[in-house]
Amino acid sequence: MRALLQRVTHASVTVDGQTIGQIGPGLLILVCAMPEDDFDTVRALALKISKLRLFKDDAGKMNLSLTQTGGSALVVSQFTLAADTSRGNRPGFSGAAKPDVAETLYLQFAHALRDLNIPTQTGQFGADMAVTLINDGPVTLWLDTAD
């Protein structure tokens, strides 16, 4: 799985003019399932994210995890994280998991975060979404379970 994490003070996702997910302080997680991913991959990524020390402690150092701060997660499916830009000017996305598999893994990922007691909101798989955020820091990290 690939994930792009952004530490936020606020994030929301809107579909057809309706806000379907929003969080206060926490992480906006753009996630892409890859063909080799399975439930073990999903759980490992959720656990890794829950423990990453991306939030400031009282001394202003990034020493606290999402679970330690009580922050939330907004998970948005984004197959474009699988973009292949090695040829030409139009990215290819054939490296992403097929939609039916990707949707299942995406929902399992959100559920895995909830199982770790992280309040989690989601976007809508396959929808044209408008995502807004206030990036805090800014802090943005790229994770790839294949690495």
| Active site amino acids | 78-80
Structure tokens at 128: 């044209």
Whether 56 and 10 have beta carbons less than 8 Å apart is answered as no
Element (H, E) at 69: helix 66-69
Buried b (16+ CB within 10 A) or exposed e, 88-117: eeeeeeeebbeeeebebbbebbbbbbeebe
* 107, containing H or E segment: helix 99-115
Token pair listed for 64: 């606290």
Q: What are the backbone dihedrals phi and psi of residue 32, each rounded to the nearest 5 degrees, phi first?
A: -135, 125
